Structure 1
Amino acid sequence: MAPWPYPFWIAHRGAGKLAPENTLAAFRVGAAHGYRAFECDVKLSADGVPFLLHDATLQRTTRERGIASQRSWSELSRIDAGGWHGRTYAGETLPSFEAISAYCRRNGFALNAEIKPTPGDEVETGRVVAREAARLWAGAPVPPLLSSFRPDALAAAQSAEPSLPRALLLETWRSGWFDEAQALACVAVVADHAIVDTEAVARIHAAGMRLLTYTVNDPAPARRLVEWGIDGIITDAVDRFSAGELTVFD
């Protein structure tokens, strides 16, 4: 396999438990704990601007309601996405993909950008996120890894910017997943840690791909995955795992 340029430990949604997920504040908290790679969710505003948000709706992580993709970026950029987490983060806004790119590039951080389309926007989201990723990371030594649960979004990203690395996200080893990953020329598969075993690691490695896993927050499964030769762990527990080494601490 080609050398893998991404750090082993990846902070989930920034440091999305210790700070409001998918915000610059969460990235800063993860960085303060030594993390140099981050995962985030990217979707489109009504006027086609990529920004960070996990859910299709706003109510879980803001005090607003409704479908986020039905609002313009001008509206979305003014929403408080931090106050729900605590007073410390009141006024923290939804970041654009461009703002996250600037932060990561300025600090030399790696990014796993999950293409998280609002249902019905899969193709357009994949296309726009890939185009923007290529523009924003032009000339960067390590491009963002584009991942998605939606093969149609990854196919659109592949068509728009075939040189960017892609990863198929999986909750189960559903029928056809391996052929999809191959057809999409994925460099990696990112699977729920509960379904990973030594057979999966061996099969994916034999195909020339890497296997990453989410969301691992406890030492026991982390140790097991390290022993099996996993290529990366996405975690919320940035305060429990040392990002600088493969050792897992209790």
Structure 2
Amino acid sequence: MTSPALPDWPHPRWIAHRGAGKLAPENTMAAFRLGASHGYRAFECDVKLSADGVPFLLHDSTLERTTNATGRAADRSWSELSLLDAGSWHSPAYAGEPPASLAAVAAWMRGNGHWLDLEIKPTEGDEERTGRVVAAEVERLWAGSDRPPLLSSFRPEALAGAREVAPQLQRALLVDKDWPGWLDVARQLDCVAAITNHRLMDATLFNTLRAAGLRALVYTVNEPRAAEALWALGLDGIITDAIDRFAPD
């Protein structure tokens, strides 16, 4: 049985993880700028909501690992969060680098013609609302753009919220483990892609995704041998930390 033909996928295949992998403080504007200096034109980052509903970039639910503050990020307003130091944890060269708002990321992406895989990373218990707010902001911030972000998430509820608000935005289900029924969930959410842990990806899964009409991307690949084997399958994208090891196409 022949897999259905897929629409054109015009996005770069190499995607810089959290802006610049591990070479700069993740999810900051400094990281995006460094990633771009290595030739990357596609990026991945994490977005969640402040206490007052402002989408901003942060991976963890708490602030300890990547800022000079403690506690839940969702308990602080954006005016508080925007003043934090999100760079010193990485290295002295980035001391004082602030967290990035989604608005700042959008302006930079659009100004440079770059593309974004935007992972919706909700605080626990706030999945659907985070998806709705983020989708509405993406719709506003990328209005008129022919390259809006791909909205991805491990949480189906967040993708459902995004679809409710902005069904025209493309969605992808992130999959870390082969849990029962995830492919059916991706279909039910009208996802255009699945982004899996690279250890899950093989020819069987790739062909299954293609037969389902889905694009196949993986994270986080940092070894050349692994990347070569994955590209040989025909993947649509690889997310990497090793932006200094892989030359993007």
Answer yes or no: same fold by TM over 0.5: yes
1:115 to 105, 114, 120: 120
Secondary structure of residue in 2 paired with 1:30: helix
Amino acid of the structure 1 residue aligned with 2:25: P
CA contact (8 A) 1:51 1:94 kept: yes
Q: What is the CA deviation profile of residues 169-210 of structure 1, one whole-angstrom value per residue up to 9, with x for unaligned ones?
A: 001121010110000000000000011110111111111110
Cα deviation, residue 141, structure 1: 1.2
Q: 1:38 aligns with which of 25, 37, 43?
A: 43
Displacement of 1:22 in angstroms is: 0.2
Match of 1:144 in 2: 149
Q: Which residue of 1 aligns with 2:159?
A: 154
Runs of 4+ in structure 1 off by over 6 angstroms are none
* Equivalent residues of 1:16, 1:22 under 8 A apart: no
Q: 2:3 — aligned with what?
A: none
Q: Does 1:172 align with 2:177?
A: yes
Matches within 5 A, 1:120-135: 120-135=125-140
Residues 216 and 235 of structure 1 are in contact (CA less than 8 Å); yes or no, is this contact kept in structure 2? yes
Compute the TM-score of the two structures, normalised by the length of structure 2: 0.97
TM-score, normalised relative to structure 1: 0.97
Number of residue equivalences? 244
Q: Report the alpha carbon displacement of residue 5 of structure 1 after superposing the two structures with TM.
A: 2.1
Equivalent position of 1:247 in the other structure: none
- The match for 1:100 is 105
- What is the one-letter code of the residue matched to 1:3? D
Number of the residue aligned with 1:77? 82
Question: In the alignment, does 2:206 pair up with 1:206?
Answer: no
Taking every aligned residue pair, what percent have the same amino acid on both sides?
61
Contact 2:21 2:243 in 1 (8 A): no
Paired residues of 1:40 and 1:114 also in contact (CA < 8 A): yes
- State the distance in 1 between where 2:117 and 2:15 align: 8
1:189 alignment partner in structure 2 = 194
Does the residue aligned with 1:216 lie in a helix, a strand or coil?
coil
Aligned partners of 2:118 and 2:151 also within 8 Å: yes
RMSD (CA atoms): 0.6
Q: Which runs of 5+ in 2 are unaligned?
A: 1-5
Structure 1: stretches of 5+ with no match in the other structure: 245-250
Residue 100 of structure 1 aligns to a residue in which SS?
helix
